[in-house]
Structure 1
Amino acid sequence: MENITSIKIFGFMANWSPFFLAFVILVTAVFYLVTTRWYDEFEGGRPLTRKEGSLFAVNMILLYFMYGGPVDILSHILFTFHMVQMAFVLFLIAPLVYFSVPAYLQKYIASLPVIGPVLSLGEKKPLVTLMLLIGAFSIYHLPVVMDNLKMSATLHTIALAIMFLTAIMAFYPMFNKVEPEEEQMGGLFKLLYIFGIGAFVTPACALIIFASNPMYATFTDGEAWLSAMELCVPSGILDSIAGAGMISGPEYFSNSTPLVDQQTGGIIMKVLQEVFFGVMLAHIFFKWFNEERRNEDQITEQALAKAQAQKNMHNRFRA
């Protein structure tokens, strides 16, 4: 048995995905060019704030480490890291998009022919987008689905992209800067919506945690696992390692049994989801609380102004 640091045997390409790094750098460069130099080309454009710029950089770094760094290759070796990847991408990176992209850019993206109607579905039918996210997550984690998807790089990439898109749609009703505040869900409904996502994720995690046997062949069967590893390891390197008899399965990298690894993954997924959602709940609650206080103050000021006006009118007639 070796520890997880042994993934270095797969080489630099597998561990650090330079092509995905180039993609992330390109997207980041375009974003900063648009938001710091070309923003006046957009209606309502303004310079990027330090907070938005920092959050976008953090988000792209997280995205790279989840899908391009060692976490990605580990997610194909140990189910625990797969669930870490899922939790960060779906429940942290996706909602952070709305905090890092300026309002004017969100409005422009939402006005595009195909993207606009897809995003607006989240505002008009929030329960539909919630169920789409939970449905995509649950179906993907059916053993027969996940094991077969990992046999094809194209299908697996499409599946991950669909899940990320449904996460973007699901968080649109809560965090978007496109719709006017008065047309968005109220603070209470946003809190219930977050609880709803967490509640619907729980059954899938429970099935994984309380299963009596390992569920996924791509994490237990040596042949299926080697085939799945082709998603992130160049075939030549994988063939040479397997041919030399250096590895035969994921047990080479961990002392945990497949069942313990699976159960740990389910627990970590639920814990991370609760942590991320706890931060979201706090953000939504305090924003809602402050808005309610502001509204109360406005109502009080309006009432006082009205009473003063009536008093002035009464005094004028008495005079």
Structure 2
Amino acid sequence: MPLSIFGFQALWSPFFLLLTLVVIGLYFYITSKKQHWFEETQPVTKKEITAFVSAMLLLYAVKGSPIDLMSHILFSMHMTQMALLLMLVPPLLIVGIPTWVWHKIINNRFIKPIFRFLTKPLLALIVFSGLFSIYHIPLILDNIKQNELYHSVFNLFLFISAVLLWWPIMNKLKGEHQVHGLSKIGYIIGSAILITPACALIIFASQPMYATYSNGDAWLKAMELCVPTSTLSGLTLSGPELFTNMPVMEDQQLGGVIMKIIQEIIYGVILAIVFFQWYRSEQDNAEEITQKALQDRQAYAANK
């Protein structure tokens, strides 16, 4: 059965598209016309523009295009959506928003203490991994998928936790929590390890875990999150099997695999960038590092 039966609004979310374009327009307006609102401004770079626009277009693709509709039909598409939303959009946003804009935002007297606390590297790892794992507990996910308020609130907090996760390794602001050098590699590997149990449970489960992808009534209720009720009431639907030939178990297992594959690809790219940055820094500062090591050795020998 074609997805077109759900209508243009469900497929392309025109209001979300309009909002995305407005945000991109505001970005260019603020960074080019309203720099006097900020301190120590610099011209926005092509790298920042590309990263921000890419983040917004990707956000629309996963939350406003047919991908979002498909994520309510196939669990594998849900996990694809989650992987891109949580692993790729946040680092692009952090890079895309100029440091002087970030400085203005996070130095607000109400935001600053909370932000500083939640961006502590270890805490950021635990919070994100915990929320991700809790989200994919069957009872939790099924309830969230069938309640618009729960769905919006939990997804917002999960996305914010992803931004906090990426902040220590992506931000360039002085005085903010940052993970440097090879410690970044340990941080990224730690993040990959912490969400592995949730993916493993999904991949190796012996039966379908989620009613919203296997039970017709629960699935129809979940579809109300992305399809107008008036449209659904005019359709005769029994379940997601109308739109796919993939068995529920295979779809579920594929979802867990997709999450890990996308995560490993993104993390692998970040790890490569971090390693080469560290290697280049070591080469550029080799003489200084050697001199410091000699001085430390001499000081140790003198005090021995």
Give TM-score, length-normalised by structure 1.
0.88
Q: Provide the rounded CA distance (Å) in 1 between the counterparts of 2:111 and 2:277.
A: 28
The 1:91–1:9 alpha-carbon spacing in structure 2 relative to 1, beyond 3 Å, is same
Q: Provide the rounded CA distance (Å) in 1 between the counterparts of 2:261 and 2:290.
A: 43
Task: Quote the offset at 1:113 in angstroms.
Answer: 2.8
Query: Residue 55 of structure 1 aligns with which residue?
Result: 51
Q: Which residue, 126, 143, 148 being the options, matches 1:148? A: 143
Query: Residue 291 of structure 1 aligns with which residue?
Result: 281
- 1:122-159 Cα offsets, whole Å, 9 max, x none, are 54x31111010000000010000010111211110101
Counterparts of 1:1-319 in structure 2, within 5 Å, are 2=1, 6-123=2-119, 125-180=120-175, 184-241=178-235, 245=236, 247-298=237-288
Query: Residue 313 of structure 1 aligns with which residue?
Result: none
Q: Provide the rounded CA distance (Å) in 2 between the counterparts of 1:68 and 1:114.
A: 32
* Residues 169 and 180, structure 2, Cα contact 8 Å, conserved in 1: no
For 1:214, give the aligned amino acid: P
* Residues 209 and 263, structure 1, Cα contact 8 Å, conserved in 2: yes
Q: Provide the rounded CA distance (Å) in 1 between the counterparts of 2:42 and 2:186.
A: 33
Q: Percent identity?
A: 44
* 4+ residue segments displaced more than 3 Å: 297-303
- 1:23-45 Cα offsets, whole Å, 9 max, x none, are 21121111111111212331111
Structure 2 unaligned spans of 5+: 294-304
Q: Provide the rounded CA distance (Å) in 2 between the counterparts of 1:115 and 1:26.
A: 24
Query: Residue 309 of structure 1 aligns with which residue?
Result: none
Task: Quote the offset at 1:189 in angstroms.
Answer: 1.1
* Residues 68 and 81, structure 2, Cα contact 8 Å, conserved in 1: yes
* Residues 35 and 46, structure 1, Cα contact 8 Å, conserved in 2: no
For 1:230, give the aligned amino acid: E
* Residues 121 and 165, structure 2, Cα contact 8 Å, conserved in 1: yes
Q: Provide the rounded CA distance (Å) in 2 between the counterparts of 1:195 and 1:29.
A: 36
Structure 1 unaligned spans of 5+: 304-319
Q: Provide the rounded CA distance (Å) in 2 between the counterparts of 1:40 and 1:159.
A: 36
Give TM-score, length-normalised by structure 2.
0.92
For 1:272, give the aligned amino acid: I
- 1:56-110 Cα offsets, whole Å, 9 max, x none, are 1111000001001111010001000000000001111111112111111111112
Q: Provide the rounded CA distance (Å) in 1 between the counterparts of 2:86 and 2:221.
A: 26
For 1:127, give the aligned amino acid: L
Aligned length: 293
* Residues 98 and 177, structure 1, Cα contact 8 Å, conserved in 2: no
For 1:134, give the aligned amino acid: S
* Residues 67 and 77, structure 2, Cα contact 8 Å, conserved in 1: yes
Q: Provide the rounded CA distance (Å) in 2 between the counterparts of 1:119 and 1:295.
A: 33
Q: Who wins on radius of gyration, i.e. which is larger?
A: 1
